[in-house]
Structure 1
Amino acid sequence: MKGRNSFYIVGITLVATLGGLLFGYDTAVISGADKSIQAYLINGLGLNSLAHGATISSALIGCIIGGSLSGLLSSAWGRKKSLLLAAFLFFISALGSGNPEFLFFTKGEPTMGLLYMFNFYRIIGGIGVGIASAVSPMYIGEIAPADIRGRLVSINQFAIIFGMLVVYFVNWGIANGQTLEWINTIGWRRMFTSEAIPAGLFGLFLFFVPETPRYLALQNQNEKALDVLSKINGAERAKEIFQDIQASVQKSSAKLFSYGKVVIIIGILLSVFQQFVGINVALYYAPRIFESMGAAKDASMLQTVAMGLVNVIFTVVAILTVDKLGRKPLLMIGSIGMAIGMFAIGLLSYMEIIGISTLVFIIIYTASFMMSWGPICWVLISELFPNKIRGKAVAIAVAAQWAANYFISSTYPAMMEFSGTLTYWFYGIMSIISFFFVWKMVPETKGKTLEEVEAIWQK
């Protein structure tokens, strides 16, 4: 488009998506260190599996806190400074989790105090994840031109999946060829500390990107806002967008329900459905699922890698199609695909049929999610809410998402103990309900500026 600086837009987007990459990295780094943490801290202190589970999932508590605080921070400090804080928290968490004995404890001597300190550092990293998960897509959404906003925000989801994939290889590279004793004393520390590298780069690169024009306009920094818009869109188009932004920020109060309750409810339900369809069960428990269905341990890890590649490929499909087909069609197609996958897996579980067919339907399920609800939920959360309430509303939606994530992940083992078939059918039913929710309640935002989306709620 005439006057648009594509190189500048892509550069800014890639810096912001480092927040997504660290989101994925921090969430998945624990997978390689899990058994070493269990050997050193849990077994070393004679604690039970409940303490093990709480330690491994402690970062999720931070995610809920960070998601809840993101609105307050992004509204008071701005989007850029909030991301700088997230980068700092990632960096501290990486160093602290890898060396929890720092200053207060002796290496090789597990104590309850050391266990609390390790969890403290993991929660700090979780707060960073919670902030980045809300503010990175918000930042990209407020910077991006309307016609490519879906594509650019979807890259953040790609970065999350890519971050998970990177840390799997980093963990494997650290542990490869080493003795179990070395991994349990030194290796797990290096796994956590490795996150300091992308966290440091994220913090450094953020100094070279601007604050978003929408936030600058909210702070009455109109010249700066127009300058950023001009660098992105060209001078002529910048003036048009700036007039719409000014009209938007001058309207109504900044109370959460200024634009009605429906927009907030839609944001929360998008977040809840993204988790209630069961995706994190498929991601977190994939090797266990394959083992329970008869795969050998080595084969289950290989099938998990295959799933990882499917995740990447179909996230790219979403990036390429979200601004052409629109948000609603992709979400509805994804819901149908997920329902087919989960009902088939439940039926195979009921009939005790184990084999390649199970893997096929798990791939159908994950591919359907990754081309739809995975990236597009974040796209919609970044663009649905009006300028004046975006910070608060995104925070509520993201906190709801992390709470739903925690609920679904923690109830899965008990549900499976009760009935594997009913567990998978529950996720299938959620997929069907999500289809009707999108069809009836979610507006199409393809090609609209954020101010044009806002006009939907004013009507």
Structure 2
Amino acid sequence: MTVHHPPALNQPSAYYVLMLAIVAALGGFLFGFDTAVINGAVGALGKEFQANSSQIGLAVSSALLGSAVGAFFAGQIADRYGRIKVMISAAGLFLMSAVGSGIAFTIWDFMVWRLVGGLAVGAASVIAPAYIAEVSPAHLRGRLGSLQQLAIVIGIFAALLCDYFIALGAGSAEAPFWFNIPAWRWMFWTEIPPAILYGIGSLKIPESPRYLVAQGREAEAEVILARVVGGDTQTKVMEIRASVVRETKPRLSDLLGRHGLLPVVWIGTGLSVLQQLVGINVIFYYSSVLWQAVGFSEQDSLWITVITSVTNIITTLVAISVVDKFGRKPLLILGSIGMTITLGTLATVFGSAPLDAAGNPNLTGNAGLIALFAANIYVFCFGFSWGPVVWVMLGEMFNNRIRGAALSVAATAQWIANFVVSTTFPPLKDVGLGFAYGLYATAAAISLFFVLLLIKETRGKELEEMV
């Protein structure tokens, strides 16, 4: 069937594609915001609910467990009901979590609301890279895919900033703020406006053309392809149709080969897990605790955290500017080398430092500056490589038939790895910071060989070329 469109419609618009990618990446902003906003409230939660340290730890990590569950099911739901419906559902869950966390009566119902937020974070971590990859022209896909990581780090920064100013305005996180309501509750409610914006934006953007072709809605797919890719949209639809041919609805069994999971699924999962095993979230979840442990004041530690967040944003912008020029694999290799060196430096500095009466490393002389410099260079190396590039590759390395399900498996593994790294750092810190950073340095070295041996370049390839 031939579908005729007005001539103007066949002119692809980079601005239009950018708008679609920004709306999808709002899920990434909320992903970063939701995971970081609890930082400023942790101390107040303990006092408000008279919770012990294990209960507080569970309150923090319940969101990560929810994220693993959300990620696991999001891809399957997206393949059955569409990418947009998953985005709208995630926006609703973010909204419920923000409201509920702020009105929590006990530590237990607070955990439930954080779990709900985690489900949304997990869904957003799968659906944003998939949707962005599926609406982006090949020559822009790396830059647009990097918006997901940029949105995440901006979300983290925005959450820390909101926490800081609310606590500053009230005097402390547990002190009364507007309408005599404790400040920590307002910290969670600051997530309400972006959650609503994400929901409204999701209602305004079109469904993924790859999903539409899979559902037999080819005329609708052609209209969208004309605006995002242009050219011969009928041929494009035929290519997509050939790559999504399926007699049954997508399911996880599509990921299985003769010897278990398909090799590309293992590689994607490996990328996801290694992104976490290099210890990046130790810097973001525990940075103020870490810097206080090695002798910096609380105020200085907070400033270091802010500087680190800004460093991460700047380096992600660097990645966006070069990922389609230099390719994915070279950036991953450079990042792995840089992370191995800087984490090795941190392990050496912390491991060789004398201990104070409390058992924490005492960074005398230039050791503190070396550690601070190495930590920020480490964030720089992660920020231009493994941070954004992994999300770009997860969105584009799987073929159309398995993308949703494969992304679910990879993202679920990533959240489980995040949970493991985050919950093991406090006991590892008690063993010794040198030992902890030695483990992360080892993971960074493994990541280098993983990329060299297993990763294939995807720059400039159409999604229909992925095998």
1:37 maps to what in 2? 45
In structure 2, the residue corresponding to 1:166 is in which secondary structure? helix
Letter in 2 for 1:177: G
- 1:127 corresponds to which residue? 119
Identify the residue that residue 335 of structure 2 maps to in structure 1: 334
How far off is 1:160 after superposition? 0.5
Query: Where does structure 2 lack aligned partners over 5 or more consecutive residues?
Result: 1-9, 354-362
Q: Deviations over 1:376-400 (max 9, x none)?
A: 1111111111111111111000000
Considering only aligned residues, what root-mean-square deviation do their CA atoms show, in Å?
A: 1.6
Residue by residue over 1:76-133, the C-alpha shift from the partner in whole angstroms, topping out at 9 and shown as x without a partner, is 11111101100000011111111124xxxxxxxxxxxx32211111110110000001
Contact kept, 8 Å, 2:14 with 2:228, in 1: the verdict is yes
Structure 2 partner of 1:169: 161
Q: Does 1:149 align with 2:145?
A: no
Cα deviation, residue 256, structure 1 = 1.6
Alignment-derived partner of residue 322 in structure 2 = 321
Tell me what 2:349 maps to.
348
Is residue 101 of structure 2 the alignment partner of residue 88 of structure 1?
no
| Structure 1 residue 302, shift from structure 2 partner | 1.1
Which residues in structure 2 correspond to 1:181-192 (within 5 Å)? 181-182=175-176, 185-192=181-188
Is 2:312–2:380's contact at 8 Å kept on the other side of the alignment?
A: yes
Equivalent residue in structure 1 for 2:243, among 233, 240, 248: 248
Aligned to 1:397: 410
Conservation of the 8 A alpha-carbon contact between 2:136 and 2:229:
no
Alignment correspondent of 1:367: 380
Distance 1:428 1:237, change over 3 A: farther
**2-side partners of 1:171 and 1:213: how far apart?**
39
Q: Which residue of 2 aligns with 1:269?
A: 270
Count of residues paired in the alignment: 436
- Name the stretch that deviates more: 88-97 or 296-305: 296-305
Q: Which moved further from structure 2: 241-250 or 435-444?
A: 241-250
Task: Report Cα offsets for 1:307-366 as digits up to 9, x if no partner.
Answer: 111101101111011101000000010000000100001111122143211111001111
- Show the 5 A alignment for 1:60-459: 60-101=64-105, 114-180=106-172, 181-182=175-176, 185-234=181-230, 236-250=231-245, 255-257=254-256, 261-352=262-353, 353=363, 354-454=367-467
Larger deviation, residues 268-277 vs 114-123 = 114-123
Q: Distance in 1 between matches of 2:428 and 2:159?
A: 29
- For residue 356 of structure 2, what is the aligned residue in structure 1? none
Q: What do the CA deviations read for 1:28-67 (whole angstroms, capped 9, x no partner)?
A: 11011111111101x2xxx421111111222111111101
d(CA) in 2 for partners of 1:447, 1:258: 27
Aligned partners of 1:348, 1:357: CA distance in 2, in Å? 8
Deviation, 1:237, is 4.0
* Distance in 1 separating the partners of 2:247 and 2:332: 32
> Once structures 1 and 2 are overlaid, which stretch shifts more, 14-23 or 292-301?
292-301
Letter in 2 for 1:398: A
Whether the aligned pair in 2 keeps the contact of 1:252 and 1:258 (CA below 8 Å) is: no
1:6 pairs with one of 14, 30, 34: 14
Tell whether the 8 Å contact from 1:59 to 1:126 is kept in structure 2 after alignment: yes
Offset at residue 435 of structure 1 (A): 0.6
- CA distance, structure 1, for counterparts of residue 182 and residue 300 of structure 2: 28
Report the residue type matching 1:191 in the other structure: M
Q: TM-score, normalised by structure 1?
A: 0.92
Identity %: 39
Deviation digits for residues 245-285 of structure 1, max 9, x if unmatched? 11112279752225972111001100110001111111111
